[in-house]
Amino acid sequence: MASDRYDVVILGGGSAGYVAAIRAAQLGFKTALIERHKLGGTCLHYGCIPTKAFLESAHVYHQLQERERFGVTADNVGYDYQKIMAFKNGVVDKNWKGVQFLMKKNKIDVVYGEGVAESPSRVWVKTEDGEVAVEGNNLLVATGSRPRTFGLPIDGRQIYTSDHAVSLDAMPKSLIILGGGVISVEFASYYHAFGVEVTIVEILPTLIPLMDAELGSELGKIFSRQKMRVLVDTTADLQSIEGGESGVRLQVTPKGKEPQTLEAERLLVAVGREAVTDGLDGLGFEMDRGYIRIGDNQRTNVPNVFAIGDVTGGYGLAHEAYAEGILAVETLAGVNKFDRVDLTRVPQPVFSLPQVASIGLREADARDRGHELETGKFPFSANSKAPILNETQGWIKVIGDKQTGDVLGVHMIGPNVTEFIAEAALARFLEGTPWELAYNIHPHPTLSEALGEAAHAAEGAAIHM
**What is the pLDDT at residue 213?**
97
Give 72-130 pLDDT, tens digit per residue.
999 989 999 999 999 999 999 999 999 999 999 999 999 999 999 999 999 999 999 89
Per DSSP bridges, beta strands 197-201 and 174-178 are parallel
Instruction: Please indicate, yes or no, whether residues 312 and 324 belong to a single structural domain of this protein.
Output: yes
**Is residue 183 included in any domain, yes or no?**
yes
Domain around 437: 354-458
Mean pLDDT of 314-331: 97
User: DSSP E strands: which ranges in 120-163?
Assistant: 122-127, 130-141, 145-147, 159-160
4 — pLDDT class (breaks 50, 70, 90): confident
- Cis amide bond preceding 347, omega within 30: no
Whether 215 has a pLDDT exceeding 90, the answer reads yes
Q: What are phi and psi of 162, to 5 degrees?
A: -60, -30
Mean pLDDT of 140-149: 97
Q: How far apart are CA 452 and CA 459, in angstroms?
A: 11
Nearest to 51 by CA among 221, 142, 182: 182
Radius of gyration of the chain (CA): 23
Instruction: Please indicate, yes or no, whether residues 306 and 358 belong to a single structural domain of this protein.
Output: no
Instruction: Please indicate, yes or no, whether residues 372 and 245 belong to a single structural domain of this protein.
Output: no
Active site members: 444
Instruction: Please indicate, yes or no, whether residues 361 and 284 belong to a single structural domain of this protein.
Output: no
**Is residue 32 included in any domain, yes or no?**
yes
The end-to-end CA distance of the chain, in Å, is 66
Whether 394 has a pLDDT exceeding 50, the answer reads yes
**Is residue 152 included in any domain, yes or no?**
no
Instruction: Please indicate, yes or no, whether residues 13 and 116 belong to a single structural domain of this protein.
Output: yes
Instruction: Please indicate, yes or no, whether residues 249 and 285 belong to a single structural domain of this protein.
Output: no
**Is residue 464 included in any domain, yes or no?**
no
Give 276-304 pLDDT, tens digit per residue.
999 999 899 999 999 999 999 999 999 99
With vertex at residue 36, the alpha carbon angle to CA 90 and CA 277, rounded to the nearest 5 degrees, is 120
Domain count, the chain: 3
Instruction: Please indicate, yes or no, whether residues 10 and 125 belong to a single structural domain of this protein.
Output: yes
**What is the pLDDT at residue 2?**
44
Per DSSP bridges, beta strands 395-401 and 373-379 are antiparallel
Whether 3 has a pLDDT exceeding 60, the answer reads no
Instruction: Please indicate, yes or no, whether residues 259 and 281 belong to a single structural domain of this protein.
Output: no
Q: Write down which residue in 247, 271, 295 finishes a domain.
A: 271
Q: Write down which residue in 313, 343, 373 finishes a domain.
A: 343
